[in-house]
């Protein structure tokens, strides 16, 4: 819990600085890249939390991985290293993205489907999310074959589960109760 609060404070500070310097969009792109990479890579997570790996090595590894970072993003990494908080880099990046989207009246909708969404279906889902919420949205498609078919839509804290696996589980529960 304390790490999330600290991450929010760092993210707010970076967002404020980025707005002052008119680079909030560029930093947003960098933060999305960092958040996605940390989320996807166990090795990167392990490196960030490791007490054995020297901070200079962590910094050089991060700068080698993320070669197109702007000055503010590099300064964030430096600040987290000097404050011995580099382990929360992924969380800071994620919080920055959420705060940025909130400020821009954007939101992220995650659609989990058994197969990748087509462009046409992606556009329909995007239009429906924007109609329901009144905000611009960004669609992230997660492919999970275990849902068999259909989709699971998650926008903020709202989830709509129209997956075949969910419907089969409901039927199974009905038959076991009777």
CATH code: domain of residue 58: 1.10.520.20
Do residue 68 and residue 97 come from a single domain? yes
Mean pLDDT estimate for the chain? 87
Residues 48, 72 share a domain: yes
Determine the average pLDDT of the residues in 140-144: 82
Q: How many Å is the Cα radius of gyration of the chain?
A: 19
Based on the fold, state whether residues 95 and 114 are members of the same structural domain.
no
Q: Which residues 6+ apart lie within 8 Å of 17 measured at CB?
A: 72
Specify whether 29 is located in the same domain as 86: yes
In degrees rounded to 5, what are phi and psi of residue 17?
Answer: -60, -45
What is the number of domains present in the chain?
2
Residue 89 lies in domain: 2-102
Q: Using CA atoms, how far apart are residues 27 and 19, in angstroms rounded to an integer?
A: 10
**35-49, 84-98, 142-156: range with lowest mean pLDDT:** 142-156
Per-residue confidence (pLDDT) for residue 1, from 0 to 100: 62
The two three-digit tokens of residue 34, written as one number? 């960092």
């Amino acid at each position: 819990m304390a790490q999330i609060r600290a991450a929010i404070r760092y993210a707010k500070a970076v967002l404020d600085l980025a707005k002052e310097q008119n680079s909030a969009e560029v930093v947003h792109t960098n933060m999305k890249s960092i958040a996605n990479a940390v989320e996807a890579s166990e090795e990167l997570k392990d490196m960030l939390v490791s007490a054995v790996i020297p901070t200079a090595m962590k910094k050089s590894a991060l700068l080698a991985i993320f070669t197109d970072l702007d000055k503010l993003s590099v300064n964030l990494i430096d600040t987290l290293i000097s404050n011995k908080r580099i382990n929360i880099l992924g969380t800071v990046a994620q919080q920055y993205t959420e705060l940025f989207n909130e400020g821009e009246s954007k939101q992220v909708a995650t659609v989990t489907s058994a197969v990748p969404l087509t462009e046409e279906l992606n556009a329909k889902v995007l239009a429906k999310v924007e109609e329901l919420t009144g905000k611009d949205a960004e669609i992230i498609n997660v492919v999970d074959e275990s849902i068999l078919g259909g989709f699971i839509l998650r926008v903020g804290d709202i989830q709509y589960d129209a997956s075949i696996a969910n419907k089969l589980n409901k039927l199974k529960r009905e038959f076991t109760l009777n």
